[in-house]
Structure 1
Amino acid sequence: MLLENLSLFLRIVEKGGLAVAGREVGLSPATVSERLASLEAYYGAALLIRTTRAISLTEEGRALVEGARRLLAEAEELESRVRRGADVISGPIRLSAPEDLGRRLLVPVIDAFLAEHPAVTIDLNLTDGNVDIVGQGMDFAVRHGMLADSSLKAKSLGENRRVVCAAPAYLAAHGTPTHPNDLAQHDCIVMRFGQNIDHDWPFVINAVVRKVTVRGRRVVNDGGLVREWCRQGRGIALKSIRDVAEDLAAGALVELLGDFSAGSTALQIVYPPSAVQPRRVRMLIDRIAAALSTGCGV
């Protein structure tokens, strides 16, 4: 019963409320409250602070979140080995990845992994915004850029150069910028990351990294659509080389302002600091790392 209550506690935290957590597992709000109270009595500490609008974790609750995930992962790993044997993996994997990279590079890896392991299920969240992987119960996420949350662990996938690019049709109609400042006269396709709009693009100008403010008629939070609009000649885009390498090689897109490139950013897999991950999660992380580390990004 303790493991079941720990699992319910994690679901409450991930879903942000007792009622919604109860609905997902078919329990009434009263039963969820009783089981939460039982868990708090067991540990002798309040785990959640509840108001009429939201819940938040106490210090003891935050400690239990990490410990509960580790304990449940160990229990699930043990059960899988006993019931199915050491060579069979099973259970869910929850992960997040950028839209464009996820669709083109991760989905084929995931499809192959699922074909090899029929007892595994995947919950894939494709988004170009950063997901709270701890709060939402994710096993891991693939992310561009440096690790902002120091409580997470990271596995490097190598460097990830960003390139300014456009379709030949756009350049034929509007001309080719030869200096970053020329972008002020061009229609740029701009990414939105949550509430932040990526208007400021970095360049090395006179040996100094400077940000040039760009404008355009298209702002979107989907990196795949940025690439598609760019291929259609709708404007100039700033994209990961991993997203547009095939387009550049085929001539569908042309790299611009390469002499002013601001270098590379990190590409990495990030995951909660729990000491134990189910074997299925470790195996998929290794498979993705192998696939993406051989991609172009240097």
Structure 2
Amino acid sequence: MLIENIRLFLTIAEKGSLVAAGREAGLSPTTVSERLAALEAHYGVVLFNRTTRSISLTDEGRILQQGAKMLLAELGDLDTRIRHGAETLSGPIRISAPIDLGSSVVADAISDFTRQHPAIAIELFLSDGYVDIVGQGFDLALRFGKITDSTLRTRSLGAYRRIVCAAQRYVDAHGVPRQPEDLAQHNCLIMRLGTVLDNIWHFGSEKSSKSIPVRGSMTTNDGALVRQWAREGHGIILKSELDVAEDLRTGKLIALLEEYSAPPKPLQMMFPPGRAQPRRVRALADAIAAAIARKKSDIAQEPRP
């Protein structure tokens, strides 16, 4: 009964109300309230702050929520291994990735993975902004740059250059910037990363670095869209080599200011804090890491743009 009460607790936390949780579980509000009270009595703590209009998790509730998700995931893995054999993977995985990388390399890796493991259900959330892995219930996430949250576990996926590039038609119409300062006279297509505007572009090594403010006529929070705009000749972009390698190879985009490139930025896979991930999450993480490693190898074998 304890496990079932914990499942109900997670449903309450997800739905934000006892009534909605009862509707989801097919239970009356009274039964939901009684079972929540039993769970709180078991642990000797209050799990929700309750008002007449809303409920929210207490600190103890957040700790239980985090641990309960991992516990139930591990129980699901154990059940599958006993019922269907040790090699079978099943269950849900929630993953967050940058839009451009997520819709290409990550999406392809997921397609291959689910063909091999049809009992896995994957939800892929694409966003170039900040994602609260724990609060939003993600099993893993990919992000460029340094990770400031020291509580998260990370796995390095290598480091990648950011390349300034544009379509040939844009360069023919507006000329080639010869140094970073020349970008002030160009239309730069700008990414919005969550609440942060990526309008300060960095160049050079740490000892001789330059930070150049840029501006332009088009801004978006979609990395794939900003790359499309660049291919159409609207302006200059700054994107990871993972995103633009194919466009550079086919000539849809050309690299600019290569001699001023900043040091590569790390790409990292992040996991919620706590115990080891379920086997299905570890397996998907390995598949994505392998796909990105292959992409990196392909890029390394191509001539520098």
TM-score of the aligned structures, taking structure 2 as reference length:
0.90
Matches within 5 A, 1:104-123: 104-123=104-123
Structure 1 counterpart of 2:275:
275
Structure 1 counterpart of 2:172:
172
Cα separation, 2, equivalents of 1:210 and 1:54: 49
Shift of 1:31: 4.2
Moved more, 205-214 or 221-230: 205-214
**What 5-or-longer segments of structure 1 have no aligned partner?**
none
Shift of 1:4: 2.3
Cα separation, 1, equivalents of 2:198 and 2:15: 30
Cα separation, 1, equivalents of 2:225 and 2:27: 41
Matches within 5 A, 1:58-137: 58-137=58-137
Structure 2 counterpart of 1:162:
162
Cα separation, 2, equivalents of 1:119 and 1:104: 23
Indicate if the aligned counterparts of 1:187 and 1:217 stay in contact, CA closer than 8 A. yes
2:98 maps to a residue whose letter is P
Shift of 1:283: 0.5
Structure 2 counterpart of 1:255:
255
Cα separation, 1, equivalents of 2:222 and 2:65: 32
Is the counterpart of residue 48 in structure 1 residue 45 in structure 2?
A: no
Matches within 5 A, 1:183-262: 183-204=183-204, 207-262=207-262
Indicate if the aligned counterparts of 1:178 and 1:257 stay in contact, CA closer than 8 A. yes
Indicate if the aligned counterparts of 2:70 and 2:278 stay in contact, CA closer than 8 A. no
Moved more, 287-296 or 201-210: 201-210
SS at match of 1:208: coil
> What is the aligned residue count?
298
SS at match of 1:224: helix
Matches within 5 A, 1:1-12: 1-12=1-12
Taking structure 1 as reference, are residues 283 and 151 closer, same or farther at Cα in structure 2, changes over 3 Å only? same
Structure 2 counterpart of 1:147:
147
Q: State, as a whole percentage, how many aligned pairs show the same letter.
A: 55
Shift of 1:147: 1.1
Shift of 1:155: 0.7
Indicate if the aligned counterparts of 1:47 and 1:57 stay in contact, CA closer than 8 A. yes
Cα separation, 2, equivalents of 1:76 and 1:152: 23
Taking structure 1 as reference, are residues 106 and 26 closer, same or farther at Cα in structure 2, changes over 3 Å only? farther
2:239 maps to a residue whose letter is K
SS at match of 2:295: coil
2:92 maps to a residue whose letter is P
**What 5-or-longer segments of structure 2 have no aligned partner?**
301-305
Cα separation, 2, equivalents of 1:27 and 1:218: 51
- The CA deviation string for residues 93-128 of structure 1, in whole angstroms up to 9 with x for no partner, is 111111110111111111111111111111111111
Indicate if the aligned counterparts of 2:205 and 2:263 stay in contact, CA closer than 8 A. no
Moved more, 231-240 or 29-38: 29-38
SS at match of 2:161: strand
Cα separation, 2, equivalents of 1:98 and 1:15: 27
Indicate if the aligned counterparts of 1:15 and 1:136 stay in contact, CA closer than 8 A. no
Structure 1 counterpart of 2:37:
37
Shift of 1:273: 1.6
Cα separation, 2, equivalents of 1:235 and 1:26: 55
Moved more, 216-225 or 258-267: 258-267
* CA RMSD, 1 decimal: 2.1
Cα separation, 2, equivalents of 1:278 and 1:213: 44
Taking structure 1 as reference, are residues 69 and 186 closer, same or farther at Cα in structure 2, changes over 3 Å only? same
Cα separation, 2, equivalents of 1:246 and 1:177: 22
Cα separation, 2, equivalents of 1:12 and 1:288: 32
Indicate if the aligned counterparts of 2:77 and 2:90 stay in contact, CA closer than 8 A. no
Cα separation, 2, equivalents of 1:23 and 1:164: 52
SS at match of 1:154: strand
Taking structure 1 as reference, are residues 185 and 120 closer, same or farther at Cα in structure 2, changes over 3 Å only? same
Cα separation, 2, equivalents of 1:23 and 1:226: 43
1:275 maps to a residue whose letter is R
